[in-house]
Amino acid sequence: MKIGFIGLGNMGGPMAANLARAGHEVIGFDTASVVIDGVTPANSPTEAVEGAEVVITMLPNGKILRTVADEIVPAMKQGAVFLDCSTVDVDSARAVAEQALAAGLSALDAPVSGGVGGATDGTLTFMVGGDEAGFETAKPLFDIMGRKAVHCGPSGNGQAAKICNNMILGITMIGTCEAFALADKLGLDRQAMFDVVSTSSGSSWSMNTYCPAPGVGPTSPADNDYKPGFAADLMLKDLRLAMQAAEGADADTPLGAAAADLYRRFVEEEDGAGRDFSAMLPRFAGRGRA
């Protein structure tokens, strides 16, 4: 396929490179003028999307997505698929989808899970909202960029799935870090703690796959001085999106709200900015009971 790709940052860059490596013609644009192997650079977003069968965006937030959509939707060819892989608010995802559909395009919101490592390795999970025909067109691309793509229903449902998933992730990571910090103070060895919990009812992805304790479990950012695989700043962003959605839907999410407030303090008032979201463990380990 001919693919336009807008947003070639830490996530978009490797995704575009994997598509090019698989033999697709990828025309890319990023405001930072980055160079990606196999990707032909464009001078503007409209140049990137000209004649493309699928246009992929990977952008920081809903406001930027709406601005880019205003620019590229009129330039896209009829019947093309607008595939947004950004993590944004549900309202922005649905507004852009309506704009694309009105212009004769197919629209998908397909945020991802798997972080930079998943983008590089082509092992992302895509949570996809939008029409079935667009999903079928994009599926071969999902198979290159990831290992799983789930069609979650109409436009906006991909974003809904992403923020619900990451609300669970933020809550369970905090719980895992709290438990390790408590184990330390009770004299329980961290390896013993992992060996018990990872095979018991307290097991979770945060414990078993992404353990926040250095030297325990599979290799994770904790073993690299908490350099981010998934930054605490991004977890805060996703939790804020979840709380925004919860408010709009009149949903009671007390643990989500508590997690959002803890990550806000960690990122904005403490030393969490630029660290992995699992760096909550040293935070709790160094604190006493408030």
Place of tokens 């992403």: 162
Q: Which amino acid is at 246?
A: A
Closest CA to 18 of 136, 114, 162, 143: 143
What is the bridge-based pairing of β-strands 124-130 and 106-109? antiparallel
Looking at 162, 185, 227, 237, which residue is catalytic?
A: 162
Closest CA to 230 of 202, 272, 264: 272
Distance CA 160, CA 229 (A): 22
The yes-or-no answer on residue 162 being catalytic is yes
Q: How far apart are the first and last CA of the chain?
A: 57
Give the gyration radius of the chain's Cα atoms.
Answer: 20
Q: Report the catalytic residues.
A: 162
